[in-house]
Amino acid sequence: MEKAFIQTPLGIAKIEGDEDGLSAITVLDTSEEITKIIPEALEDAMYQLQEYFEGQRKVFDLELNPEGTDFQRRVWEALLNIPFGKTVSYLELSKTLGDVKAIRAVAAANGKNPLWIIVPCHRVIGSDGSLTGYAGGLHRKKWLLEHESPVKQQSLF
């Protein structure tokens, strides 16, 4: 398993994977030394993340290989269908998966998503529009949603 640390506007991200695909991307609250030579298996992920943060990429095209239960994988697959700049509620996501009563299990699987940004769990919000739990911190979720928003907030002054 290869790994690399890259700088993002939201902190240092750790990328993990191999020739079979990406297994994890996490944002860290600690400081790590930025990787100077990116392993070949992780180069595309690094470039695509850079393009995303520069506003040049809305869809990722990467081989994914996260570890999880069959149910978690179904939830993560459903997350990939949420378009850039859009959000869905946990209830809507549960309905998409065919079981409105599974809302808590869906939320738990969402919280275990190992592929930060690539599998866009940040696009799932509360039914009332609130920014509910996010493993990377609500300040990062807010930043990501604003970054993807088609309507940019402008200053009045």
- The 10s digit of each residue's pLDDT in 53-106 is 999 999 999 999 999 999 999 999 999 999 999 999 999 999 999 998 999 999
Query: Would you say residue 86 lies in a domain?
Result: yes
How much is the pLDDT for 89?
95
- Statement to judge: residues 87 and 34 lie in one domain: no
- Statement to judge: residues 134 and 81 lie in one domain: yes
Query: Would you say residue 13 lies in a domain?
Result: yes
- Statement to judge: residues 75 and 137 lie in one domain: yes
154 pLDDT higher than 70? no
Q: Which residue has the higher pLDDT, 22 or 150?
A: 22
Spatial separation of the C-alpha atoms in residues 10 and 52, rounded to whole Å: 12
- Statement to judge: residues 90 and 143 lie in one domain: yes
- What predicted TM-score, i.e. pTM, was given to this entire model? 0.90
- Statement to judge: residues 49 and 92 lie in one domain: no
Look up residue 1 and give its amino acid: M
Query: Would you say residue 111 lies in a domain?
Result: yes
Q: Which residue has the higher pLDDT, 121 or 130?
A: 121
Look up residue 5 and give its amino acid: F
70-79 and 103-111 helices, crossing angle to 10°: 80
How much is the pLDDT for 134?
81
Spatial separation of the C-alpha atoms in residues 42 and 81, rounded to whole Å: 23
Q: List pLDDT tens digits, range 9-66.
A: 999 999 999 999 999 999 998 889 999 999 999 999 999 999 999 999 999 999 999 9
CATH number at residue 46: 3.30.160
Query: Would you say residue 135 lies in a domain?
Result: yes
Contacts of 126 (CB under 8 A, 6+ apart): 89, 90, 132
- Domain extent for 33: 2-53
Spatial separation of the C-alpha atoms in residues 17 and 45, rounded to whole Å: 10
Which one, of 143, 136, 137, lies nearest residue 116 by Cα? 136
Tokens of 86: 């859009």
**How many domains would you assign to the chain?**
2
- Statement to judge: residues 35 and 74 lie in one domain: no
Query: Would you say residue 90 lies in a domain?
Result: yes
Q: Which residue has the higher pLDDT, 133 or 12?
A: 12
Catalytic residue numbers, as ranges: 121
